[in-house]
Structure 1
Amino acid sequence: MLFSFAHIEYLLLLLLVIPALLLFVLNKRWKTITRKKIGDEQLVNLLTVNHSAKKFSIKFYLILGALALTAIGAANLRTAGKAEAVNRKGRDVIVAMDVSKSMLADDVKPSRLDKAKLFVTKLLDQLPDDRIGLIWFAGKAYLPMPLTADQGAAKLFIQSAAPDAVPTQGTVIGEALRLAAESFPQNSKRYKIIVLITDGEDHDEAAERMAKELKDGGILLLTIGLGTAEGSAIPDPETKDYKKDKFGQTVVTKLNEPLLKQLAAVNGGLYGNLQNTDEMLNDVTNVINQLEKKAVEGEVSQANYNYHFMWFLLAAFLLLTMEVFITERKKVTTAINKKI
């Protein structure tokens, strides 16, 4: 693909062009109807002698063009640059952990969340020289701990992970991946790795797109699934009963393994099911340790992009500047001369 958008969701702003055009057409129609209601064409011309319908239309189209250009600029049009070898040293690892209520299910003992905490704690012991960051997500994604070399602090944060840390429920994997990507230092030459731990219960359409963007940005994604295909009921700590839907039926949460496998495939990373902590730990650390070997062999490359958002925003600014200096008024002398 010759070009792409870094934030394609902002192209939805182009939909605002439709109601704007509709309002413009309705405004012109209203003016036409009003002129006819007055009936006296000479009186209407006298009342509107200073108004230029042509200039009014020009001003509208300038604003409309600025809106469209701003939307494209916000989406950040980019073209692929030359991929170049990157000599990296050290690794930055961000763990994005699902803390939604479905993680309280106990189809993985003692619970999905407790299993995830144990795994991350052991993972930190395997990465003593790396910087670690933590993200909790449910219906929103938060960064409780930015990248740090303080392993002790990281372990304290891990133990505090719970559903009430993120009040909004859901599973926004795409938002969590985006926040993780933005949490890496932009100009760092260290390896960037995201370890995603979730049951993937809710389907997140933005997740697959983000997995591809991570790959384009040289960020490795390792997805780890928690749960079983049969699923389990979700304990409710407040009622001491299982969570029920609006019809009074017990909610059963299941592992969405196809989604997590797809994310790993799109990114070129790894997927694993956290049934056996030690086996999963071994697989993840092996993949991470292989990165250093590739660096020595010179096999690592990173795609660069040429970003063009500034040209669209500049054009939008120029159109708005032109609109400000264009008046809807006709020159009185011109209007009088025409009558004469």
Structure 2
Amino acid sequence: MFRFANPEYLYLLFLLPVLIAGFIFLNIQKRKAVQKLGNLQLVKRLMPELSLKRSYLKFWLVFSIFVLGIVVLARPQFGTKVEKVERKGIELVIAIDVSNSMLARDINPDRLSKAKQILTRIIDERKNDKVAIVVFAGEAYVQLPMTTDIQSAKIFLDNINPSLVPVQGTVIGSAINIAMNSFTSEKEVDKSIILITDGEGHEDNAVQMAEQAGSVGIQVNVVGIGSAQGAPVPVSSTSNEMKKDNEGNVVVSKLNEEMCKQIAQAGKGMYVRADNSNNALKSLQAELDKLQKKNVDGVTYSEYDEKFQFFAWCMLILLIIEVCIFDKKNKIFRGIRLFK
């Protein structure tokens, strides 16, 4: 595989036509200046040591050096091969609630941001696991299929926001069902679901789906996020205006902790409430560490090798040649007629 590490420098190639146009313009001006002295052929005879072809050659050498310099700045790289690697880990599906109530700020900075912080830390510490991401509110769908690409998982997680699922609600049962179908058919690898939600507005068969997952060996761990006292729900993540119901009352969202505990118990997992400390993260990591790790196949690309050195050497050689070529014929090599 081939790539440029700094492809933004390739935009400098757009300057090449400007260089050529400038060279042509200067030559035209130079020719006009010579013609003022007299007939062009006569002037050439009066300056026998002047070689126009040398000036043309020097320009194209400088032009080539400029092109090679741009390539060096862009840092061409080659990857040698794709390798199949084996890791000892588990399969993990993250199901995250993105309903509007997750914008409530009873957890700093808000429930959704705190959930993303916790999940990012989990992904960082579980580099050998396969990960998938499911988002849900009034609907649920797969945001990222099962992968060993941890960096991609973090990018997808960072971009999660309530606008991904415009239909409001909390279909936890549907999210668990989709999460179950996101695992591979590998039977030797332990599987776990991390469900992170405030449990509010629960409207489907979440407990039954958790029982079904537990019965086939898929552990359902639930992270409840929010507080029992609740907090107003902002209109958006950056707004200080709060949502109001049809009667003009401010909407207050509260953590449905009892429902979260029932789901975790049915799914043979653990329930933990997230707060402004790291206790939830530590407890969840400890629970996941109890799962039996098996070989998890993954595909990775080998490291890219820097190849700019070749172009740099070519640039240096051309630069030396350009310096050694004079506009006038060299007295030492006057007998050698490479240029007429």
Question: TM-score scaled to structure 2, two decimals?
Answer: 0.58
1:235 shift after superposition: 0.5
The one-letter code sitting in structure 1 at the alignment partner of 2:104 is A
Cα shift at 1:239: 7.1
Give the structure 1 partner of residue 189 of structure 2: 190
1:235 is paired with a residue whose SS is coil
Deviations along 1:22-77, one digit per CA (max 9) or x if unpaired, are xxxxxxxxxxxxxxxxxxxxxxxxxxxxxxxxxxxxxxxxxxxxxxxxxxxxxxxx
Which residue identity is paired with 1:180? Answer: A
Distance 1:137 1:293, change over 3 A: closer
* Shift of residue 203, structure 1, vs aligned partner: 2.6
Superposed, 1:71-150 pairs within 5 Å as 90-150=89-149
Query: Which residue does 1:229 correspond to in 2?
Result: 228
State the partner residue of 2:209. Answer: 210
The corresponding residue for 1:259 is 259
Q: Secondary structure at the match of 1:288?
A: helix
Q: Distance between the aligned counterparts of 2:89 and 2:150, measured in 1?
A: 16
Which position in structure 1 is the counterpart of 2:289?
289
3-state SS in 2 of match to 1:129: coil
Q: Secondary structure at the match of 2:210?
A: helix
Q: 1:251 to 1:287 in 2, by over 3 A?
A: same
AA in 2 matched with 1:147: M
State the distance in 2 between where 1:121 and 1:179 align.
21
- For 1:64-75, what aligned pairs fall within 5 Å after superposition? none
The letter of the residue matching 2:262 is: Q
Q: What SS does structure 2 have at the residue aligned with 1:152?
A: helix
Residue identity matched to 2:267: N
State the AA in 2 paired with 1:261: K
Is 1:159 the counterpart of 2:182? The answer is no
Consecutive unaligned residues in structure 1, runs of 5 or more: 1-88, 296-340
Residue 272 of structure 2: aligned partner: 272
User: SS of the residue aligned with 1:224?
Assistant: strand
One-letter amino acid matched to 2:165? V
- Residues 227-266 of structure 1 deviation map (CA, whole Å, 9 limit, x = unaligned): 0011000000297510111111110000000000011112
State how far apart, in whole Å, the 2-side matches of 1:147 and 1:175 are. Answer: 18
Contact map agreement 1:119 1:277 (CA 8 A) in 2 = no
**Structure 1 counterpart of 2:248, one-letter code:** G
Normalised TM-score (structure 1): 0.58
Counterpart in 2 of 1:329? none
**Alignment gaps of 5+ in structure 2:** 1-87, 296-340
CA distance in 1, matches of 2:219, 2:263: 11
Provide Cα deviations, 1:189-222, integer angstroms capped at 9, x if missing partner.
2111000000000133410000100011110010
Q: Deviations over 1:254-286 (max 9, x none)?
A: 000000001111222100001145221111111
Q: Retained in 1: the 8 A contact 2:220–2:268?
A: yes
1:250 is matched by which residue type in structure 2?
V
Distance 1:140 1:187, change over 3 A: same
Q: Distance in 2 between matches of 1:103 and 1:229?
A: 14
Q: Distance in 1 between matches of 2:93 and 2:102?
A: 19
Q: How many residues matched?
A: 207
Q: What letter corresponds to residue 209 of structure 1 in structure 2?
A: Q
Alpha-carbon separation, structure 2, partners of 1:152 and 1:109? 25
Does the CA-based 8 Å contact 2:200-2:253 persist in structure 1?
yes
Displaced runs of 4 or more, over 3 A = none
Amino acid at match of 2:245: D
In structure 1, distance between residues paired with 2:160 and 2:99: 10
Bigger drift between 163-172 and 178-187 goes to 178-187
